[in-house]
Structure 1
Amino acid sequence: MIRRVPHASHWGSYTVLVDGDRIIGVEPLPQDPAPSPIIQSVMDWAKPDRRVLRPMVRKGWLAGQREGRGSDGFSAVPWDEALDMVAGEITRVARDHGNASIFAGSYGWTSCGRFHHAPSLLKRLLNLVGGYTGHVDTYSIAAGPVILRHVLGDDAACGGYANSLDSIVDHSETLVVFGALSPRTAQTEAGGLGTHGLEGHLRQIAASGKRVILISPLRDDLPDWMPCEWWPIRPNTDTALLLGIAGEILAAGREDRAFLERCTSGADRWLAYLRGQTDGVAKTADWAAGLCGVPAGHIRDLAAAMTATRTMMTLSWSLQRARHGEQPYWAALGLAALAGQIGLPGGGVGYGYGSLGGMGVHLSTGKSPAISQGAKAIDSFIPVARIADMLLNPGAEFTYSGETRSYPDVRMVYWAGGNPYHHHQDLNRLQAAWARPDTIVVQDPMFTATARRADIVLPATTSLERNDLAGNKRSDLVVAMHKAIEPVGQSRSDFDIFNALAGRLGVAAAFNEGRDEMGWLRHIYAESRAAAAAQGHEMPEFDSFWQRGFAEVPLKHQHTYLAKFRADPAARPLATESGRIVLGSETLDRLALDDCPAVPSWLPPGEWLGEAGPDELHLMSHQPNGRLHSQLETAAASLADKRAGREQARMHPSEATARGIADGQPVRLWNARGACLATATLCDRVAPGVVVLPTGAWFTPQGNSGLEIAGNPNVLTRDIGSSGFGQGCSAHTCLVRIEPWQGKAGDAMAIYDAELAALTA
């Protein structure tokens, strides 16, 4: 008899079809108008391939050796022995070095379940035993929210709470898209998603006849079917274009002086910069065109349109993953203020539309289901992308958001869910840093490149093997995630693993609060239900919800960001240094950072086409079509986007011809940081000067050369902060060379699996 099991993951909500203990199919939620095809790949989680099947300990670590991570073999141990080892290391490091020496960054897209959420459960446990060093922000977005918290008072505008897409559909006349606005990236949502709504809104925009301008090196950053003007910009020069538009508005006397005076601070200082009074360079269309490659006539035309029509600018998260990534977000805010568009329906600026599935689509006003991490025991953190800096430089100072802090001396890394050997930049540098801690524990369902480089590996279940809830502040539903199959191998749920550790550490009662799995799900759901009821929205009681499989949450429609502030800025002040939008910052002026000035500014990023050698290309490493990051890399949807078993390096035909590269040919991409292989795909939808290599290939370096053969772009990217203020990752500031590859390549996935089998034999 086939069982129909409601479930969810980062790609949406669906029903799992189970025959006995075997998954035979996946059906999307009927209410979802645009389900992701990736949901069909979740069946691969049930396969033992690449799963961690039992607790493992590195043989070299047992012999007291730090060296050998990634090349040493593992020994299988019983669960009790593995848990005793982990609890013993937590106790030892906290006692001998202090809790700040335990790094529990655990960043990554682990299960979307809000109860069995590995990083949250890890931090809950460690907060009960004295604390840990954690991280702030994300690899996806860090520079952007840091600058917006300073100049807007919060980061809601890049977290899904700028103007809602239905407001843009109904009120915008001109839509300017910087970076991507694509259903490709909107397939996914942290914590799960009920329905996918971006595509429907884009089709409404396409049918409305609005003027749409795509400013990106990639034409497919908007769907093929969406009419638009494509302006292929040089990567990392969006700030120059934004400043050039602003300079043209100012020179024509079309700025909204009343809005600037009522709603901003420091505007005169920024206007002086635009006029060239501070550096001798007027920010004109001609100046901007020379930097960004967009014709000056286009820039002047858009400057006129932005004050003559209701104009909305969208900036994808990708723009701020670059050196000086704070500047395009701040410059776009300044431009929207200069044009007087902020706080108007369908006008102004918003960040991250399409970067996740719910951004601007579902504005939930309820409480998302979540397990509490508890009170933070110590104040120790790093910016998320500064892991290698921390490990390599204990005690060194770093700056972040106006503060000066020091890196802790990390002796233990506990990574639960996630894969830094996917997310981090300059993976060869990370490998050197990874050798420094005494002990590395990885808890994960999959034997990722990170797990291969651990000392103790704990096998966790996937969401298919336990009960949970899905949902977040950008989802229209809370979804029941029923257990579909029994645990694979000896894997245990994240809650059970941490609860067992809590018992060994003497904090079990505080950790579990007397609740088992279903008791916690009832409790978490009840909190969300009570918050909805306070707004007059009735969610069903738990048993009815659990049987039905989902519950609607309260939503807000036709949202206009900063409308109340615009109407009365004195009565609705922002949480900034002035209570208004900051265009000239007293704080940044005082800090005097070379890489983050006091006004939105153009700063050459260091590695860009304006300073490239004749054979260098700008590398863009974006999200793939068929998976999320490195998850489900060997499943059907991911394999469909590979060629010859490797990632596709897309480039303009003219660049391929100049290098003697044929379509479908193996190629080597390299720079001073590393080298990797890929398969060339010629494409005129990629601007000249650019090569695109998606993220997520499982890190597979070979031999003494370290050549990475699967196509992981993070062997090439820069491990440097966006600035001393934001410290975000700078993955998109990266130049590479590319050439035909004549050597032996081999099947990267087969080689990874053979290496893994040898390590775990």
Structure 2
Amino acid sequence: MDTRSRDLITTTHWGTYNVSVEDGRVTGLKDFAEDGDPSPIGHGIVDVLDGPTRIKSPMVRKSWLEGGPGTAGDKRGEDAFVEVSWADANRLVAAELKRVRDAHGNASIYAGSYGWASAGRFHHAQGQLKRFLNCMGGFTRSVNTYSYAAAEVIVPHVLGTWFDMLANTTGWDSIAEACELFVAFGGVPLKNGQISQGGTGNHVQKQGLLDAHKAGVKFVNVSPIRSDLLDTVGADWLSPRPSTDAALMIALSYVLLTEGLQNEAFLEKYTVGFDRYAAYLTGAEDGVPKTPEWASEICELPADDIRDLARRMAAHRTMISISWSLTRQDHGEQPYWAAINLAAMLGQIGLPGTGIGFGYSATNKSGQSLRNMHFGSFPQGKNPVRNFIPVARISEMLENPGGTFQYNGKTHEFPDVKLVWWAGGNPFHHHQDLNRLRKAWAKPDTVIVNEWCWNSLARHADIVLPCSTTLERSDLGLNPRDAYQVVMDQAIEPVGAAKSDHDIFRGIAAELGLEEDFTEGRSPEEWQKWMYEISRQSASRSAFELPDWDTLQLKGWIKVPPPEKPTVMLEAFREDPDANPLKTPSGRIEMYSETVAGFDYADCPGHPVWMEPGEWLGGVGSYPLHMISNQPRTKLHSQLDHGSVSRAAQIDGREPLTMHPDDAAARNLSDGQIVRIFNQRGDCYAGLRISDEVRPGVIQIATGAWYDPDGTTCRHGNPNVLTLDKGTSNLAQGPTAHSCLVDVEAAAEDIPESRAYTPPVIE
């Protein structure tokens, strides 16, 4: 379709942009006119599309090429690479796939391939990879996410589902209309709300927050970081010790119970197990009443402040907001379950603007009232391999083939992985204890990566297949998480010999005799038209008509109108719990779960409890500071860390670290100084920013700096060399990055130069 009658357009996870092109090069991006609060992140791609970090042809690690699979895995990340042709790359990959499959079985191929990849509905790297591997017999997969793994497993036991709750979180419009008090555990971090999977049209989180404030909603920010909630809303700030949220929620519930403030009618009609939980609250179960004084010792909050907050919550129409970050701590299942039980005791679940919400501003989708629509996607086929791992247990899998692990009530076995394939995402960003991961990463025979730039993942591969970016191929931004559906124009030809992921897999499939199985005889445009027609049919069933293909291409984008009334989570359940039961064994909210209790896990019993984290400020340890490694504001995870927007926010080329003035003074540190963060697992460098927006004893550094290892040191500033690689519990096995103790000191004069953006040697 000829798009010359309109500006070129594309959508990304962090925004929609019009694209300017001159002489075959992208010269700039213009923020989408419909976006009221555009993110700067996308502009960072312009100067790196064809820069020194771009991978322009297939590459093979020298030792692997010379010695074959399994050679010198410990040199991954340090070895030189050799440029090869696509024909040779296809032949090498196909031969290695056949060798591993025939000698070890498909379970020995791991394609967790976790990450955000492209916003495009067709050119989605993980979907393309998984369809390809399913065509040749399947692969070991991962389950759950780094974002909220603990919630993904515990919430279905309590509320019946997790993703339905996310998709139907009570809207900001409902909060503005009906809420009086908004209590935000983990805050409402607007920097996180810059992004949304599948594409972002209009950023709404800031406006939703401001509209609620204008309507008179009062806010409480429960977080060790004050900036987790916008200053404009005038929130009360409670700053507990990190990783103590469950204790605080349990004490709030104690106050409700002992002062007769719980909603007995709601508990009787909509929940089961309250009596078992009440016995824990009062101490009848273990002899320890969960009083505000008990919680005060744990959280370092005044007992009177805890008691006052509980009374305020009972006296007002209250929304309990719980951030996704609260799952990413030791025993991360507990704060989510405790928050649900607290909301159940208040009895406002299912009413407009109140109850509980999971992750306001965690992404731009959170709190948007959207139509429930289904969009067509590239079919992945069926994976006959039953092996899987929880996503955050990759190091254990590589270290311990044949070993066992617990997950959600069952015992599973780690496969013996010989080949790892990653397309989209970067485990050397997402994962914890990167020094441990790097050692484990040396064990597979072969690591294959689809990547467009020389980030840490590409440097730790054996075969690197250069893929195109969203600006170098045509696609569709069809997204049920956003009101805007956007055409993604190809703005320029792929740089060098880069190919789309689809064309990469098509070439390898042809080498294996599977091309017809993979493509079904369709071109990429034909697949996109097929997907769009499915989407049109779904929209019609939702009382909305999507335009035909040609009209969409001419317009470039459309906006799906909102539903007739704001979204209210669990509204139908509240109206009639018998007609609309939850998908729990009882059909009710399970404040105590017989199922979970039956698993007999010491680290996750049958109701919410407070358990000490392995690392926290109230424990016994040799490191005095608690590190929060939260989401960045200048990039999406590690994407575009090398771009201009991310680099402009660095301090002398290092990631900024925020520290309280008292902690800086105790170490004789000054603002702007380069410092070393360290613990028993490793160390990294950062640029110091002194501010009272963090509580004393806490430091904050964003994730996303490209991993640049030198022994156990990250020269560039990736905090995941410091974080603990441990499962949240036997139930969910989620990541625990936010339970991490460190110390900070002035960097020595001979600070090692960061080589994060320096490509490897090419021979």
Same fold (TM over 0.5): yes
Residue 240 of structure 2 corresponds to 233
2:733 is matched with which residue: 727, 731, 737? 727
- The Cα shift of 1:640 comes to 2.3
Q: 3-state DSSP class of the match of 1:667?
A: strand
Q: Which residue matches 2:494?
A: 487
Partner SS, residue 637 of structure 2: coil
**Equivalent position to 2:36, from 25, 33, 37:** 33
Q: 2:640 matched to which residue of 1?
A: 632
Partner of 1:605: 613
Asked whether the equivalents of residues 180 and 218 of structure 2 are also in contact (C-alpha less than 8 Å), the reply is yes
Structure 2 runs not aligned, ≥5 long: none
Once the 2 structures are TM-superposed, how far is the Cα of residue 87 of structure 1 from its aligned partner?
1.2
Q: CA–CA distance in 2 between the matches of 1:348 and 1:263?
A: 13
Distance 1:252 1:153, change over 3 A: same
Q: One-letter code of the match for 2:317?
A: R
Q: Is the 8 A contact 1:136 1:382 kept in 2?
A: yes
2 CA distance for matches of 1:232 and 1:645? 31
**What residue number does 1:126 align with?**
133
Q: Does 1:552 align with 2:555?
A: no
| Correspondent of 1:578 among 565, 586, 589 | 586
Aligned Cα root-mean-square deviation (Å): 1.5
Q: Which moved more, 1:723-732 or 1:199-208?
A: 199-208
Deviation at 1:257, TM superposition (A): 1.6
Mapped to 1, the partners of 2:236 and 2:478 lie a distance apart of 36
Contact preservation (8 Å) 1:107, 1:417: yes
Q: What does residue 200 of structure 1 align with? A: 207
Q: Which moved more, 1:410-419 or 1:511-520?
A: 511-520
In the alignment, the residues of structure 2 paired with residue 259 and residue 498 of structure 1 have an alpha-carbon distance, to the nearest angstrom, of: 54
1:77-226 mapped onto 2 (5 Å cutoff): 77-156=84-163, 159-226=166-233
Q: Is the 8 A contact 1:157 1:351 kept in 2?
A: no
CA distance in 2, matches of 1:18, 1:558: 40
Q: Aligned residue for 1:254? A: 261
Cα contact 1:50–1:753 (8 A) shared by 2: yes
Amino acid at match of 1:736: V
Cα contact 1:650–1:691 (8 A) shared by 2? yes
Distance 1:478 1:4 in 2: 16
**CA drift at 1:318:** 0.5
- Report the alpha carbon displacement of residue 654 of structure 1 after superposing the two structures with TM: 0.2
Q: Deviations over 1:138-158 (max 9, x none)?
A: 111100121011111100365
Q: Secondary structure of the residue that 1:288 maps to in structure 2?
A: helix
Secondary structure of 2:668 counterpart? coil
Cα shift at 1:205: 1.6
Q: Distance in 2 between matches of 1:716 and 1:534?
A: 50
Amino acid at match of 1:672: Q
When structure 1 is superposed on structure 2, of 212-221 and 62-71 the one drifting more is 62-71
Distance 1:325 1:523 in 2: 41
- SS in structure 1 opposite 2:7? strand
| Secondary structure class of the residue paired with 2:464 | strand
Alignment of structure 1 residues 402-551 onto 2, 5 Å: 402-551=409-558
Change (3 A) 1:86 1:522: same
Shift of 1:369: 4.2
Give deviations 1:322-366, integer Å, cap 9, x for gaps: 110000000000000011111111111111111111111142311
Contact 2:123/2:501, CA 8 A, preserved across alignment: yes
* Corresponding residue of 1:51: 54
Q: Give the gaps of 5 or more residues in structure 1.
A: none
Determine if contact 1:44/1:632 at 8 Å carries over to the other structure: no
Residue in 1 that maps onto 2:64: 61
SS in 1 for 2:618: helix
Return the alpha-carbon distance in structure 2 between the equivalents of residues 97 and 38 of structure 1.
43
Cα pair 2:48 2:642 within 8 Å, conserved = no
Which of 348, 352, 360 is matched with 2:359 structurally?
Answer: 352
Q: CA deviation at 1:666?
A: 1.2
* 1:242 shift after superposition: 0.4
- Letter matched to residue 733 of structure 1: S
| Distance change in 2, residues 1:163/1:627 (3 Å) | same
Q: Does residue 1:17 correspond to 2:20, yes or no?
A: yes
State TM-score, norm by structure 1. 0.97
Contact 2:172 2:212 in 1 (8 A): no
Confirm or deny that 1:752 pairs with 2:760. Answer: no
Deviation (angstroms), 1:376: 2.4
**Residue identity opposite 2:54 in structure 1:** R
Corresponding residue for residue 691 of structure 1? 699
Cα separation, 2, equivalents of 1:715 and 1:2: 50
Judging changes above 3 Å, is the alpha-carbon distance between structure 1 residues 727 and 650 closer, same or farther for their aligned structure 2 residues? Answer: same
Please identify runs of 4+ aligned residues in structure 1 that moved more than 4 A. Answer: 612-615
Tell me the CA shift for residue 746 of structure 1: 4.5
Paired residues of 2:17 and 2:29 also in contact (CA < 8 A): yes
SS in 1 for 2:92: helix
2:745 to 731, 739, 749: 739
The answer to whether the 8 A contact 1:362-1:476 is kept is: no
Aligned to 1:338: 345
SS across alignment from 1:752: coil
1:16 match: secondary structure? strand
Q: Any idea what SS the aligned residue of 1:26 has? A: strand
Helix, strand or coil for the counterpart of 1:212?
Answer: strand
Alpha carbons 1:366, 1:554 under 8 Å: kept: no
In structure 2, the residue matched to 1:643 is 651
Code of the residue aligned with 2:313 in structure 1: it is M
Q: Indicate the SS of the match to 2:406.
A: strand
Instruction: Report whether the alignment pairs 1:388 with 2:392.
Output: no
Residues in 1 aligned to 2:23 and 2:291: alpha-carbon distance in whole angstroms: 68
Is the Cα–Cα contact under 8 Å of residues 532 and 553 in structure 1 kept in the other structure? no
Hey, what's the Cα distance between the residues in 2 that align with 1:112 and 1:400? 31
Distance 1:675 1:384, change over 3 A: same
Aligned residues: 755
Supply the distance in 2 between the matched residues of 1:116 and 1:107 (Cα, whole angstroms): 15
Provide the rounded CA distance (Å) in 2 between the counterparts of 1:154 and 1:590.
Answer: 19
Distance 1:147 1:274 in 2: 20
For 1:442-481, what per-residue CA distance to the aligned partner results, in whole angstroms no more than 9, with x for missing partners?
1111111111111111000011100011132211121110
CA displacement, residues 538-558 of structure 1 (integer Å, 9 cap, x when unaligned):
111011111211122354341
User: Judging changes above 3 Å, is the alpha-carbon distance between structure 1 residues 93 and 544 closer, same or farther for their aligned structure 2 residues?
Assistant: same
Work out whether residues 99 and 132 of structure 1, in 8 Å CA contact, stay in contact via their aligned partners in 2: yes
1:312 to 312, 319, 323: 319
**Among 569, 578, 601, which residue is 1:593 paired with?**
601
Counterpart Cα distance in 1 of 2:714 and 2:6: 43
Moved more, 291-300 or 364-373: 364-373
- Tell me the SS of whatever aligns to 1:408: coil
Question: What is the percentage of aligned positions where both structures have the same residue?
Answer: 46
Distance 1:303 1:151 in 2: 22
CA contact (8 A) 1:114 1:470 kept: yes
> Bigger shift: 199-208 or 596-605?
199-208
The residue type equivalent to 1:61 in the other structure is W
**Deviations 1:296-341, CA, capped at 9 Å, x for gaps:** 1111112112222110011111111011000000000000001111
Of 239-248 and 61-70, the range deviating more from structure 2 = 61-70
Q: Is the 8 A contact 2:623 2:741 kept in 1?
A: no
Which one of the candidate residues 708, 711, 723 is aligned to 1:700? 708
Give CA-to-partner distance per residue, 1:636-686, whole Å, 9 cap, x none.
Answer: 221222101101110000001111111111111111111111111100111
Contact 1:414-1:441 within 8 A present in 2 as well? yes
Distance in structure 2 (CA, Å) of the matches to 1:637 and 1:612: 40
The alignment partner of 1:399 has SS state of strand
Asked if 1 retains the 8 angstrom alpha-carbon contact of 2:251 and 2:295, the reply is yes
**Secondary structure at the counterpart of residue 737 of structure 1:** strand
One-letter amino acid of the counterpart of residue 314, structure 1:
S
Q: TM-score, normalised by structure 2?
A: 0.97
The letter of the residue matching 2:238 is W
Instruction: Say whether the 8 Å CA contact 1:718–1:730 is kept in structure 2.
Output: yes
Matched residue type, 1:48? G
Matched-pair contact (CA < 8 Å) for 1:144–1:158:
no
